[in-house]
Structure 1
Amino acid sequence: MTHSQLTTITEADIDDIAIGAAVLGTGGGGDPHVGSLHAKRAIRLHGDVRVLQVADLDPEGLVVPIGMIGAPSVSIERIAGDAEIGRALDLLEQATGRTVAAIMPIEIGGGNSLIPIAAAAERGLPIVDGDAMGRAFPEAQMVTFHLAGYGPGATVLVDAQGNAVLSYPVNGAWSERLARVLTFEMGGSATMIDYAYPGAVVQECAIPGTLTMAREIGGMLRSQALRDDERIDAMLARLGGFRLFDGKVTEIERVVDGGFTRGRAELAGTGVDRGSRFELSFQNEMLLATRDGEVAAVTPDLIAVLDQATGHPITTETLRYGARVTVVAFPCHPQWRTERGIETAGPAYFGYDVPFTPVEALAAEAAPRMEKAA
């Protein structure tokens, strides 16, 4: 099953995009259900959203990433409103003296793929079929603009109370530090704009085609033409991914700490994985997966938890004790496998004492052990 590149986003596309973005979001990026409701409402009120491919951007036109920052556990209850999005865009235009030409997602994950669609509909602007992560990451500097040496520029935060803050962080690390403190004071969730650049810079940095990819993944996982057991396999084949584990959640620890949803989950194997144990560690997003003490996948590669029956993604804030899940992993975009990419979002940055090893290499190493165990 394949889809052509998006040219227009209609209300009918939103559910597929939401499901696919939640898979690519590796458990984070905001709640996809809340984001989909917002995007559908905006399209219903203001009309369909025109889609621009990265290669087709006006080199001089200002492209603005917009989304939510904060702990996913909080964002479920603190939903971004039309006024927040509008005020953030107005403040950026006032600060830069430029008119926004297009909106883009800063990451492809959960609600943060859908809030930009809502913003584009509300402003009558096109949205860019691309983002700056190719997945979701928990911190503001973890974007391809930062990898290419660009700073965050004029940065805007707006909360539900009407507070608005404009700042000019000196680099991505300072952007994260300042935004995280402000977001905590704003109640744990806020609307954010950063890394607003002309189309030429976006063409240099962005990962193209990720909204189209999200729609394609969602279409596979919602397809009535595929059986339950075929949907996940079809998606893995499309993304070059790997099925890591089938199991039941036996323990879950989750806290909101420092503006993030942090925690871990333990799984007991089911089916062919019976007798094995699996552990997931997360900070908004799934970052480390181990099987019987051996690393199975690690950031910046993508780790996703899916409902075993439907294949639909489960976010870090909705993972529950007793859930029967399938854990899968996919290679990240090549920009994240560079030295700067690993330094920015690799396991050592998050405090994990393991080296980064590509998921395909880990899968190849594990295959003989799996065959012997079987």
Structure 2
Amino acid sequence: MSWAITPTEITDLARGAAVLGTGGGGDPYIGALLATAALRKFGDVTVVTLDELPSDAVVLTVAMMGAPTVMVEKLPSLDEVISPVLALGTHLGRPVTHIACAEIGGVNSTIPIAAAAALGLPLLDADGMGRAFPELQMVLPTLYGINASPLAFSDEKGNVGVLQTVSNNWTERIARVACVEMGCSVMISGFPMSGAQARESLVPGSLTQCVEIGREITAARDEKTDPVARIVGLLRGRELFAGKVVDVQRNTTSGFARGRARIEGTDTSLTLSFQNEHLIAEIDGRTLVTTPDLIMVVEHDSGEPITTEGLRYGQRVRVISAPSDPRWHSAEALAMVGPGYFGYDVPAHRFDGTITTVEAMA
């Protein structure tokens, strides 16, 4: 059933998206500001379910590409957000009917809201991942043979381009070079798909889940109960660790924020490895959870999600995990988003809510 996003929902939606962003996806506060401004200027956005989507719809994803650390200081404008959609619509030669989130994490759950509001288009209650991943091809539509290109991109200077590539990996490679040259963050629109393709390949109910997570965190704070326990329950996850951040190593290279963080508990410590998003969680060299399952860091008492660029020495945090969309555990998907792809000599671990099982190396 369709529903409307108004400025009232944005805070909860952005907070929930920051949780699902697994540390990446960009600063949710920036995205919330942009979406709220667009909603106030252009009106509410209608959100439709995949079941309501016509088979002949023309769906485009909208997102920010680049290092989240850069976006904190390089704020996007509304013109920058809609330019790729307009360019791609012209290139395709047919009107765009719906906007979708490429990923549900962080700012990339709210930028599409701003685009939909400004363009007067409905937004799908779905996304391409069910979390956030650092590279453009890392979406479920890739597994269904849906092309990322033609893909349009724009920057704050007014530069706009359209790529036509031979594969989604080549779209990532070429667009990433352009992104670095254009200041390490750009707005993009791509993955043109029909309604039938969107229904098959996207993760349903993502925006609704974001709002639910945000509301539960708010409700728990008001009721003086544990918001982290609420998050864990909603995501069918578990708490991995609690402690203080004692070390963060972070570098922005090739358009990504890469690094490691160490969190110290009472008698042991947990290490997180990330590339925009958290990819591996280990305790004393023992792997607990790996990509593609979700690893999330939240403030110890408030449950406020903390992005990888927001991790700081001295923070008291809790680390939680939850299962990803089961399609991410196919052999083809693990080759694209498993630990091996990111250069870690660790087998993928599948999280089932209570334990993790080791899968074939990918």
- Of the three residues 262, 265, 269, the one matched with 1:266 is 262
Of residues 217-226 and 32-41 in structure 1, the stretch that sits farther from structure 2 once superposed is 217-226
Which residue does 2:305 correspond to in 1? Answer: 313
CA contact 1:242–1:363 (8 Å) conserved in 2: no
Which residue does 1:14 correspond to in 2? Answer: 10
Identity %: 42
Q: CA separation in 2, counterparts of 1:217 and 1:361? A: 18
Displacement of 1:199? 1.0
> 1:137-160 deviations in whole A, cap 9, x for unaligned?
000110011111222121101001
Confirm whether residue 101 of structure 1 aligns to residue 93 of structure 2.
Answer: no
Runs (5+) with no aligned partner, structure 2 = 358-362
What secondary structure does 1:141 align onto? coil
Which residue does 2:218 correspond to in 1? Answer: 222
Q: CA separation in 2, counterparts of 1:224 and 1:306? A: 14
Displacement of 1:230? 2.1
1:320-359 counterparts in 2 under 5 A?
Answer: 320-359=312-351
- Of the three residues 240, 243, 261, the one matched with 2:236 is 240
Displacement of 1:86? 2.5
User: Residues 227 and 267 of structure 1: is their aligned pair in 2 closer, same or farther, counting only changes over 3 Å?
Assistant: farther
Displacement of 1:224? 5.1
Which residue does 2:112 correspond to in 1? Answer: 116
- Of the three residues 245, 248, 251, the one matched with 1:252 is 248
CA RMSD of aligned residues (A): 1.4
Amino acid at match of 2:36: K
Q: CA separation in 2, counterparts of 1:351 and 1:311? A: 31
User: Residues 225 and 322 of structure 1: is their aligned pair in 2 closer, same or farther, counting only changes over 3 Å?
Assistant: closer
- Of the three residues 287, 296, 299, the one matched with 2:291 is 299
CA contact 2:220–2:226 (8 Å) conserved in 1: no
What secondary structure does 1:197 align onto? strand
Amino acid at match of 1:332: S
CA contact 2:238–2:354 (8 Å) conserved in 1: no
What secondary structure does 1:252 align onto? strand
Amino acid at match of 2:17: A
Q: CA separation in 1, counterparts of 2:9 and 2:324? A: 25
Q: CA separation in 1, counterparts of 2:65 and 2:353? A: 33
Amino acid at match of 1:316: T
Q: CA separation in 2, counterparts of 1:226 and 1:291? A: 33
CA contact 2:220–2:227 (8 Å) conserved in 1: no
Which residue does 1:178 correspond to in 2? Answer: 174
Amino acid at match of 2:108: N
> 1:297-350 deviations in whole A, cap 9, x for unaligned?
100000000000100100000110100000000000011011111111001001
User: Residues 322 and 229 of structure 1: is their aligned pair in 2 closer, same or farther, counting only changes over 3 Å?
Assistant: farther
Q: CA separation in 1, counterparts of 2:75 and 2:247? A: 29
Q: CA separation in 2, counterparts of 1:364 and 1:80? A: 39
> 1:344-367 deviations in whole A, cap 9, x for unaligned?
1001001111111212387368xx
The size of the alignment, in residue pairs, is: 357
- Of the three residues 120, 125, 132, the one matched with 2:121 is 125
> 1:222-275 deviations in whole A, cap 9, x for unaligned?
115665552111221121101000010000011101110001001110xxxx10
User: Residues 265 and 80 of structure 1: is their aligned pair in 2 closer, same or farther, counting only changes over 3 Å?
Assistant: same
Amino acid at match of 1:309: D
Q: CA separation in 2, counterparts of 1:24 and 1:361? A: 16
Amino acid at match of 2:270: F
CA contact 2:297–2:320 (8 Å) conserved in 1: yes
- Of the three residues 53, 57, 62, the one matched with 2:58 is 62
What secondary structure does 2:191 align onto? coil
Normalised TM-score (structure 2): 0.96
CA contact 1:6–1:212 (8 Å) conserved in 2: no
Q: CA separation in 2, counterparts of 1:364 and 1:135? A: 19
Q: CA separation in 1, counterparts of 2:199 and 2:353? A: 31
Runs (5+) with no aligned partner, structure 1 = 366-374
Confirm whether residue 137 of structure 1 aligns to residue 129 of structure 2.
Answer: no
- Of the three residues 163, 166, 172, the one matched with 1:167 is 163
CA contact 2:221–2:227 (8 Å) conserved in 1: no
Confirm whether residue 187 of structure 1 aligns to residue 183 of structure 2.
Answer: yes
CA contact 1:107–1:113 (8 Å) conserved in 2: yes
Displacement of 1:196? 1.4
What secondary structure does 1:69 align onto? strand
Amino acid at match of 1:300: P
Which residue does 1:372 correspond to in 2? Answer: none
Displacement of 1:18? 0.3
> 1:93-140 deviations in whole A, cap 9, x for unaligned?
110001110111100011000000011111111100000000000001
User: Residues 301 and 228 of structure 1: is their aligned pair in 2 closer, same or farther, counting only changes over 3 Å?
Assistant: farther
Q: CA separation in 2, counterparts of 1:6 and 1:183? A: 35
Q: CA separation in 2, counterparts of 1:312 and 1:153? A: 36
Q: CA separation in 2, counterparts of 1:267 and 1:90? A: 45
Which residue does 1:87 correspond to in 2? Answer: 83
Amino acid at match of 1:301: D
Which residue does 1:368 correspond to in 2? Answer: none
- Of the three residues 134, 145, 150, the one matched with 1:149 is 145
- Of the three residues 275, 285, 289, the one matched with 1:283 is 275
Q: CA separation in 1, counterparts of 2:113 and 2:48? A: 12
Displacement of 1:174? 0.4
